[in-house]
Amino acid sequence: MDTLLEGRVVLVTGSSRGIGAAIAESFAKQGAHIIINYVKSEQKATTFANYLMETYQIDAIPIQADITNEDSVKRMMDAIIEEFDTIDVVVNNALYGYTFDPDERKKAWELSWGDYQHQLDGSLKGTYHVCKHAIPIMKRKGFGRIINMVSNLVYRPVIAYHDYNTAKGAVLSYSHNLAADLGPFGITVNCIAPGLVYPTDASRRTKEEIKDAIIRETPLRRIAKPEDITGSVLFFASNWSNFITGQTIIIDGGFTNK
């Protein structure tokens, strides 16, 4: 167990399933206390929180909050402070549902501004709300770790998911600026940029020929699993990354050679 993370209070948004759940469990394995954020999946979040507590002997609580609604986020933060009296790590993983289907995607000339706005709300607005209400807590204690999920498609848009990729690019820029402002307070801000992760709800309609093409161009010759994302998140959350901020780790097996 990494005692650098033991006892830390960690919020992972959108963590009742998929990548978020894998991240939450990786923290629990290290002895951190976990807030499982969800929007609709109350039973799944509650079952998962109970599993984490029984398996790893840590505290885990499910909290419902729509991160695109600031009042909802404020209530979540108030509940976290009431339960734990602090927050050490925020992993902004939640996003609006998006189906990665190259045949069904809208082309540039078919998109409305509403399509862009929907993804900007889910990615950038949601991340902004969570950070806004976590920052004062972290500033008071002179410590904090903010880890934002972006995408390798920001660097290599092999399929032009315009609205999704643009929103993730906005989160990347927001994170760089946030890192510049928060560094003097002992708060780091970094990003994780996964490639295709399978199986997840978002990747369920990815065709076999697409997966095969990605595997052929990936030096490690496979597609990431949710568990492949967790190590870099733990690194950014730990004291091993004390002097790293405003950076991004691309997790795609070498598919993106930036």
User: Count of domains in the chain?
Assistant: 1
Q: For residue 194, give its domain range.
A: 9-251
The burial class, CB within 10 Å (0-12 / 13-18 / 19+), for 52 is buried
Residue 202 neighbours by CB under 8 Å, 6+ apart: 18, 97, 98, 99, 100
- pLDDT tens per residue, range 73-132: 999 999 999 999 999 999 999 988 777 777 888 999 999 999 999 999 999 999 999 999
Would 2 be classed as within a structural domain? no
CATH classification at residue 48 = 3.40.50.720
Tokens 């708060």 sit on residue: 187
- pLDDT tens per residue, range 19-52: 999 999 999 999 999 999 999 999 999 999 999 9
Would 63 be classed as within a structural domain? yes
- pLDDT tens per residue, range 186-241: 999 999 999 888 765 655 666 677 778 888 888 888 888 888 999 999 999 999 99
Residue 164: active-site member: yes
pLDDT surpasses 70 at 258:
no
Would 257 be classed as within a structural domain? no
Q: Which of 128, 155, 164, 174 is catalytic?
A: 164
